[in-house]
Amino acid sequence: MFGTINAAVLGTGRIAEKMAETMKSARRVKCYAVGSRNLDRAVAFAKKNGFRRAYGSYEDLLTDRKVDLVYVATPHSEHYRNALAALEAGKNVLVEKPICVTEKQAKKLVETAEAKNLFLGEAMWTRFLPFGEKIREVLGSGVIGDLVSLTADVGWNIRSVPRMTDPELAGGTLLDTGIYALNFASMFFGEDIYKIHSVCSYTDKHLDEQDSITLIYRDGRVAALSASMVGCSACQGILTGTKGYAVVDNIVNFRSLTVYDANGKKLAAYKRPRQKTGFEYELAAAVSAIREGRTECREMPHRQSLSEMHMMDFIRSQMGIVYPFEIREKQEEQRRQAEEDRKAALALEEKAKEALATKEEEEERGQIASDIQAQEAIEGHVSIGDETDYTFGTAESVAVDTGEEVHLPSEDTLVHAAGEAMKEDARLKAQEKAGNLPAPSEPEPADAGDVTSYIDIPLHAGNSAGAETPADYGTPESAPNAEDSRQ
């Protein structure tokens, strides 16, 4: 996939200098570019280490399309931001240990690298040293029996280095020296830990100054680890077995392994092979992964980085170490959550108002429908007064809601009645001409039930037969419930 890898370095500190020295003698790697927040420092670094280009900002370097691999050598607090920016710019990335400051950050980097099919590696150089395989080989031979415990200590007097005591830069011992002790235990005892106990002394800014960490494994093995930024230790690891013990000199950059029996008699000693800077192995692994299209190194896979970040998050929580950016992130998350809750409450309130308005509208439509049908029923009555109105147009019986039937007179009956009325009228007119009309008399009061001037068709309170029944609007069963709509 690649011929020569154009390598770039972000940062110009001591670790960057060591990687630059390594790159100069590495096969298939070209010292291409360096980026710094200060252009003068970038130019000076480039001239000293043979880099072709110097940039006065990290952003400018990442826009260079010729950059294939970016080595991040900035302070711990900047690893996540710088590595993520490089990945998003389409660059392969090798990040100095620790890969970042929290497991959450590490997960984001891994997800981004895998989504973009880019290489992402943590430069935990101890993992790449060939002598590590030699140690495993000797221990696996059974020369000291079954492993039951180990101790590891790492300490340098580096408290005067500004970043070590600066909370904003994720200072403290754990991420700088303690990580080496944890890595040593992981390399030879694995990850099956079920209990961790950790304590520390503190700086005046509440960072861990000296750490004591105990790991208890499910199979009963125990690892006792210590780390310091104020004291110079032997940086030694001791692996204890049922038949003897083995001493590893310099657990950061393995120097030698010495094996003893149960009585302290020296059985064997091994020395590491010659090396240049010690960084050449991690650089070679990164280049191989990139050329082969892999997103991680076999020696330090992503799961290993995530596991160690998870462990260090837990240890910091036991020690009560919280970095300022974590506090700011938590506050921002709380503000964001409060805003989301406020918006959700407003949405529920609006939804409740809409539901209530809908219910009222449905009740109003239902009332209007009922009124219309009642009016239609009233207009369907038959009234007989001075002028008879035959609304129904037939002489058939009309069913009403009372269950009774009202019979209207047939057409023959009405014709006969009209004829009789005409005869009577003619008779009265003849008598009037002859002067034989009977004397008028006062009409007697009629009983209310004897004579009517209209026919009243009784109406049920409901609808007339055959009319459509209105929809069941506004009932508790069918109408939207405002309280339910807020859930």
Torsion 413-414-415-417 (CA) sign: positive
Residues of the chain with pLDDT under 50: 382-406, 441-487
**For residue 417, what pLDDT is reported?**
64
CA 281 vs. chain centroid, Å, equals 37
What pLDDT, on a 0 to 100 scale, did the predictor assign at position 450?
Answer: 38
The Cβ of residue 415 has, within 10 Å, a number of other Cβ atoms equal to 11
Q: What is the pLDDT of residue 369?
A: 80
Query: Rounded to 5 degrees, what are φ and ψ at 154?
Result: -135, 125
pLDDT at res. 319: 97
Task: Give the count of beta carbons closer than 10 Å to the beta carbon of residue 430.
Answer: 10
CA distance 484 to 487: 6
Comparing CA positions, the residue from 299, 313, 320 lying closest to residue 104 is 313
Task: Give all domains of the chain, ordered by start, each with its CATH number.
Answer: 5-126 (3.40.50.720), 130-274 (3.30.360.10), 382-435+452-458 (no CATH)
Chain centroid to Cα 186, Å, comes to: 30
Note the pTM of the prediction, 2 decimals. 0.72
d(CA 22, CA 30): 11
Q: Are 470 and 345 in contact (CB under 8 A)?
A: no
CB 79 within 8 A of CB 109: no
Structure-token pair, residue 253: 């950059």
Q: Which pLDDT does position 362 carry in this prediction?
A: 82
pLDDT at 449: 39
Q: How far apart are CA 173 and CA 443, in angstroms?
A: 125
Q: Which two tokens stand for residue 400?
A: 């009403």
Helices (H), 320-452: 324-379, 411-434
